[in-house]
Structure 1
Amino acid sequence: MPKLVGKEVGPIGFGLMGLTWRAKPQPAEKSIEAMKTALSLGANAWNGGEFYGTPEYNSLHLLNQYFTKYPEDADKVVLSIKGGAKPGQVAPDGSRENVRRSIDECLKLLDGKKSLDLFECARVDPNTRIEDTISYIAEYVKEGKLGGISLSEVSAKSIRRAHKVHPISAVEVEISLWATEPLENGIATTCAELGIPVIAYSPLGRGLLTGHWKTLDDLPEDSPLRGWPRFTPESFPENVKLVEQVEKIAQKKGVTPAQIAVGWVLAQSRNNGFGDLIPIPGATTPERIKENMQAAQLDSDDLAALGKILQNFTPVGGRYPDFIAHLSHA
């Protein structure tokens, strides 16, 4: 079993973003039901964000509600929270003042109901040395207010620089059938060398790899993805071709495309020596969580078929809009 900050976690985790990062989040009781389902199925590595939602209602508020209702679950969950952005802005600020503000706010919202196992700045601040930012977070580890430090959307070089200042407990990057860069650019191999687990966010390609979206009209009306580079009217028809190919393999195995997608991420760890890769698919209903937790078991023929598909497929459009894309893998 993989470990985070010395605690065993399931091979598949749970992302909280979809529960609060919408124009109209679903009722809290529905989200709490989804969270309880995830934990009951062994997904005890939970990933949230200070900015997943609004200052008035984000994933920290929801976590407080959950652990108020289920205090006995607090020690069962390994919680990782992203923060470090300028308040109200999509811009990183790794200064000591802002890092302390962000961690203090997270701890305040958790209100002692749950410890903060991991904290990570969502992006590397180009105006603050990563060594300095890590040293500021490390102050909280030394004070016993934080279990460990993780990184998000960083390059292999940044991982090494950060790890020299304080041991890094996890690195979170996007990995899926349409986001394979960390497996090719040294991020995964660097983490394996240093013994750092990789948290693979968006293993379902932001929902595309579920196979539920055939056209742009299928996206929820309030989806923040509308207008993102891979979801424009020009790029979406090309990108959905990947799903069509994955669906053929899923049909032969009697599973869903989502189960193939999660199974593929798990297989990279097992077969390619990348160390622990922990996918954290997000979902808002117990039904989808149950589906995601039943990852397809892929044999060598399946992996070869998927490899051939990827050799002949190049995603159209970047992973993020321009205003944040330049900060990825920094």
Structure 2
Amino acid sequence: MEQRALGSQGLTVGVQGLGCMGMSVFYGTADEAESLATIDRALELGVTLLDTAESYGPFVNEQLLGKALAGRREAAVVATKTGVEISDDGQMGDLNGRPEYVRRALERSLRHLGMEYVDLYYLHRIDPKVPVEETVGALAELVTEGKVRHIGVCEASASTIRRAHAVHPLTAVQTEYSLFERGIEQDQVLSTLKELGIGLVAYSPLGRGFLSGAITSPDDFAADDWRRTDPRFQGENFGRNLDVVREVRRLASAKDITPSQLALAWVQQQGAVGIPGTKRRPYLEENVAATAVTLTAEDIAAIEAVAPHGVVSGDRYAPEFMGTLNG
């Protein structure tokens, strides 16, 4: 797989990473054996960036990744996240960007991962009660101590990114970015990243699976699948968004590729490192094949015609979570 500099701080990763969250939570029943096999296959195919967080479970996704990388730590670039308060017994709390919590959370993540350091440590969400300068100052101390190699923030506004970067250079910002979610093109986040030399890591580059074309009804989800609460998969929004997916499928068919591959190739061509999540090897292999897809200027224009900014119907999250975005 082609390697790409992620930002300007010296971190290099494969042009497509792997989101590990769904292997443990939110997207239906977990299968540890298949998840471990999927991570193995990802490494074989040249995927290096593996993304997790202490809140995924909580803790169990970090533990899964640690198990997968036991004895071969250097095979992967490991990214994890903090910023949502979690008790040691797994009780979720509010956002917490206090320096003392960040430090304690990192030590706990290292134990769960079975590692001495993480390659990329993100602030998962911006805590409005704590100046971002204080939180990033704590992250910088962890870099100095060698427990973290690079730092980043998630779902941050352009002004917050600038403030954070002024304390310690950010290697990456992780945010949702796909043919369905292009807000960073309009709110100065994307231009700020380019100006400051910060890498973009795109989560949900397949619109939480919608852009794969495999979802045709809300009933396709298991009863415990979090997407049943996602506004984009509900009511009239579902039908409107499905119409967009049909157009994406049409364009993909014309190139003899899948809708997932078209959507992922588009994200890659924008300069982002996508981290599509999957817990099964066939989907992983389909996703990785997108790294070999070339989109022409005509392809990009056709995609823009069917999936311009604002085409998606519905908010990104349920109302109670929308306030944590663009912090």
Please classify the TM superposition score into its range, dividing by the shorter chain length.
over 0.9
CA distance in 1, matches of 2:223, 2:33: 22
User: 1:223 and 2:225 equivalent?
Assistant: yes
Q: What residue is the counterpart of 2:297 in the other structure?
A: 300
One-letter amino acid of the structure 1 residue matched with residue 139 of structure 2 = I
2:179 and 2:308 in contact (8 A); partners too: no
CA distance in 2, matches of 1:312, 1:107: 39
Q: What residue is the counterpart of 2:274 in the other structure?
A: 279
Segment of structure 1 superposing worse, 203-212 or 234-243: 234-243
Q: TM-score of the superposition, structure 1-length normalised?
A: 0.92
Identity of aligned residues (%): 34
1:242 and 1:313 in contact (8 A); partners too: no
Segment of structure 1 superposing worse, 86-95 or 127-136: 86-95
Q: What residue is the counterpart of 1:213 in the other structure?
A: 215
Q: What residue is the counterpart of 2:80 in the other structure?
A: 81
One-letter amino acid of the structure 2 residue matched with residue 48 of structure 1 = T
CA distance in 1, matches of 2:14, 2:319: 35
2:11 and 2:171 in contact (8 A); partners too: no
Alignment of 1:95-110 (within 5 A): 95-110=98-113
The secondary structure found in structure 2 opposite 1:209 is helix
Alignment of 1:1-330 (within 5 A): 1-4=3-6, 6-22=10-26, 25-55=29-59, 58-68=60-70, 71-72=71-72, 74-87=73-86, 88-89=91-92, 91-112=94-115, 115-269=117-271, 277-295=272-290, 296-311=293-308, 314-330=311-327
Q: How far apart are residue 54 of structure 1 and its match?
A: 3.1
Structure 1: state its 5+ residue gaps.
Answer: 270-276
Pick closer, same or farther for the CA change 1:313–1:103 going to 2, 3 Å.
closer
Q: How far apart are residue 312 of structure 1 and its match?
A: 8.5
CA distance in 2, matches of 1:227, 1:67: 33
Pick closer, same or farther for the CA change 1:102–1:312 going to 2, 3 Å.
closer
CA distance in 1, matches of 2:110, 2:280: 27
Large movers: runs of 4+ above 4 Å: none
Pick closer, same or farther for the CA change 1:147–1:312 going to 2, 3 Å.
closer
Q: How far apart are residue 203 of structure 1 and its match?
A: 0.3
Pick closer, same or farther for the CA change 1:184–1:14 going to 2, 3 Å.
same
Pick closer, same or farther for the CA change 1:313–1:23 going to 2, 3 Å.
closer
Deviations 1:131-182 (A, max 9, x none): 0110111111111111111110011111110001001111101100000111
Pick closer, same or farther for the CA change 1:90–1:23 going to 2, 3 Å.
farther
The secondary structure found in structure 2 opposite 1:43 is coil
CA distance in 2, matches of 1:174, 1:24: 21
Q: How far apart are residue 200 of structure 1 and its match?
A: 0.6
1:216 and 1:233 in contact (8 A); partners too: no
Segment of structure 1 superposing worse, 213-222 or 308-317: 308-317
The secondary structure found in structure 2 opposite 1:132 is helix
The secondary structure found in structure 2 opposite 1:53 is coil
The secondary structure found in structure 2 opposite 1:262 is helix
Pick closer, same or farther for the CA change 1:261–1:241 going to 2, 3 Å.
same
One-letter amino acid of the structure 2 residue matched with residue 77 of structure 1 = A
2:28 and 2:223 in contact (8 A); partners too: no
2:18 and 2:276 in contact (8 A); partners too: yes
Q: How far apart are residue 24 of structure 1 and its match?
A: 5.7
Q: How far apart are residue 23 of structure 1 and its match?
A: 7.4
Pick closer, same or farther for the CA change 1:294–1:40 going to 2, 3 Å.
same
One-letter amino acid of the structure 1 residue matched with residue 101 of structure 2 = N
CA distance in 1, matches of 2:114, 2:32: 18
The secondary structure found in structure 1 opposite 2:321 is helix
The secondary structure found in structure 1 opposite 2:52 is strand
CA distance in 1, matches of 2:268, 2:93: 31
